[in-house]
Structure 1
Amino acid sequence: MESHPIAAWLTDMDGVLVHEDHALPGAADFIGALRETGTPFQVLTNNSIFTPRDLRARLAATGIDVPEDAIWTSALATARFLATQAPGGSAYAIGEAGLTTALYEVGYVLTAAHPDFVVLGETRTYSFEAITTAIRLIAAGSRFIATNPDTTGPSPHGPLPATGAVAALITKATGREPYFVGKPNPVMIRTALNRIDAHSETTAMIGDRMDTDVVAGMEAGLRTYLVLSGSTNVTQIERYPFRPTQVFDGIGDLVSLVRRD
């Protein structure tokens, strides 16, 4: 695999490029190198709250210049998946603008009246009423989809319950497991590759988590580079039965690979 030069890059966002509202060392240089060399790339995030435009603005505020069309969220991947499964369908969505906008853009109708799917995404204001509606719709036959399996998300005050935790609540009440589209599902990786016409054998995935970024990249056939600037420290790698291709302290250490390849 290493005999092929890297022709395209996928990278996680939180813990790789940014931490909360601050750029991580080397992140702006890495994205700058990709753009200067004309190397195709996508920034991936399981966060389904924000639209690519929102995330572009967030990154720009930290000094990282990423085009809107180079950002691929779990909400976009979920909408793309649904559009291929049931074109022009309907959904009851629990989420924010990132999810509802993505569903509208693929031609979906958002409704609580006998929807084809219940789609659960990230939100900071989960409503007991909305969750109850989702449970009743799933019990009545709507198919259950969730943007990502993350059980917690970060905040300045500590962890927050995330999509996977709320999905578990709905599963407990209905007996129905959701289909998770976001990482570690390789579907999200493959759809990102398709956006830039890239091939798995010449693409690398950068992430800070073994259980989402690395395993998703590995299962999609990519080279995987784990950075220790986010959720994983070097001692935790040994807990997993698989390994990344290489481990780096941070994304700044990969700038030379972009310029070399």
Structure 2
Amino acid sequence: MTNRKPVECWLTDMDGVLVHEEQAIPGAGEFLARLQETGRRFLVLTNNSIYTPRDLRARLLASGIDVPEESIWTSALATAQFLDDQRAGGSAYVLGEAGLTTALHDVGYVLSSRKPDYVVLGETRTYSFEAITRAIRLIEAGARFIATNPDATGPSTEGSLPATGSIAALITKATGVEPYYVGKPNPLMMRSALNRIDAHSETTVMVGDRMDTDIVSGLEAGLRTILVLSGSTQKGAVDRFPFVPTRVCESIADVVPLVDELAPGADSDEPIEV
């Protein structure tokens, strides 16, 4: 760790790190304010493909957290960028919400159920049997299968909700075709985020609350990683994984001092027991 380069850029997950059930986690506002005060380039990452960055900015503001729209990077945006790189000007049949359809429209994709190049699955609260059936038939007819993320469930105040990964499993069972997942834990999402802010993996840190998505994707993208214990992965579960984060912190409040500690001109960061 003592030979690591100073940290110039930060990536951070949203749910479980900055907010929990739309309530700000203590220290989140201070962390983001410190990044902006010191001119650090950063992105807030989320596998949630339902909302556009503008929608998410408004929701975060309601929680008391101020994040610029251009500093939010979603799995929908990463998926749209991936498809644009793979097949510019293509077509897609979409099961998803405005966050995904807007992102695809913005890169020039046509949304169609007539021989689309892709079936693109994102998260939605209005999955219908008819739409899922059409997706299955289009994949059987040769459409390529893409999904924004593999999360099987999502949180709500009433309990777990089926998410993208659950519906993808249903479609896979019916077609025998596995989707290509673009969002975390695919390091592709990390690399697209790095490119978005012109960052380098050697000088960037990823902050997350899940070992199986945030930390592993950051690790595979060559980033230093910080696990916060305010979300999904609890301290006792860390040792069960075959990889470890660079640091473990109780919450984002404990990460605030690291913005200065790891910055260019500061002393080299020292390892912390995990």
Q: TM-score range by the shorter chain?
A: over 0.9
Secondary structure at the aligned position of 2:205 is classed as: strand
Secondary structure at the aligned position of 2:116 is classed as: coil
Using the alignment, how far apart are the partners of 1:39 and 1:62 within structure 2?
A: 23
Question: 1:142 Cα shift?
Answer: 0.1
Paired letter, 1:73: T
Question: 1:158 Cα shift?
Answer: 0.5
Using the alignment, how far apart are the partners of 1:238 and 1:137 within structure 2?
A: 43
Aligned equivalent of 2:170: 169
Secondary structure at the aligned position of 1:88 is classed as: coil
Using the alignment, how far apart are the partners of 2:63 and 2:173 within structure 1?
A: 40
Question: In the comparison of the two structures, how many residue pairs are matched?
Answer: 261
Aligned equivalent of 2:245: 244
Paired letter, 2:31: F
Secondary structure at the aligned position of 1:11 is classed as: strand
Aligned equivalent of 1:108: 109
Aligned equivalent of 2:221: 220
**Cα distance per residue 1:64-90 (max 9 Å; x no partner):** 110000000000000000000000000
Using the alignment, how far apart are the partners of 1:227 and 1:238 within structure 2?
A: 14
Question: 1:63 Cα shift?
Answer: 1.3
Using the alignment, how far apart are the partners of 1:251 and 1:4 within structure 2?
A: 22
Structure 1 unmatched runs, 5+: none
Using the alignment, how far apart are the partners of 1:238 and 1:96 within structure 2?
A: 37
Question: 1:21 Cα shift?
Answer: 1.5
Aligned equivalent of 1:15: 16
Question: 1:238 Cα shift?
Answer: 1.4
Paired letter, 1:163: T
Aligned equivalent of 1:98: 99
Paired letter, 2:93: Y
Question: 1:259 Cα shift?
Answer: 2.2
Secondary structure at the aligned position of 1:136 is classed as: helix
Aligned equivalent of 1:60: 61
After superposition, residues 184-203 of structure 1 pair within 5 angstroms as: 184-203=185-204
Secondary structure at the aligned position of 1:14 is classed as: coil
**Cα distance per residue 1:138-169 (max 9 Å; x no partner):** 00000000000000000111001000000000
**Cα distance per residue 1:22-44 (max 9 Å; x no partner):** 10010000000000001000000
After superposition, residues 84-163 of structure 1 pair within 5 angstroms as: 84-163=85-164
Secondary structure at the aligned position of 1:145 is classed as: strand
Secondary structure at the aligned position of 1:122 is classed as: coil
Using the alignment, how far apart are the partners of 2:65 and 2:9 within structure 1?
A: 19
Using the alignment, how far apart are the partners of 1:147 and 1:103 within structure 2?
A: 12
Using the alignment, how far apart are the partners of 2:79 and 2:22 within structure 1?
A: 26
Aligned equivalent of 1:205: 206
Using the alignment, how far apart are the partners of 1:130 and 1:211 within structure 2?
A: 30
Structure 2 unmatched runs, 5+: 264-274
Using the alignment, how far apart are the partners of 1:238 and 1:34 within structure 2?
A: 30
Secondary structure at the aligned position of 1:72 is classed as: strand
Paired letter, 1:146: A
Secondary structure at the aligned position of 1:247 is classed as: strand
Paired letter, 1:223: R
Using the alignment, how far apart are the partners of 2:19 and 2:155 within structure 1?
A: 12
Secondary structure at the aligned position of 2:248 is classed as: strand
Aligned equivalent of 1:182: 183
Using the alignment, how far apart are the partners of 1:247 and 1:96 within structure 2?
A: 34
**Cα distance per residue 1:210-248 (max 9 Å; x no partner):** 000000000000000000000111011111110000100
Paired letter, 2:210: R
Aligned equivalent of 1:258: 259
Secondary structure at the aligned position of 1:238 is classed as: helix
Secondary structure at the aligned position of 1:81 is classed as: helix
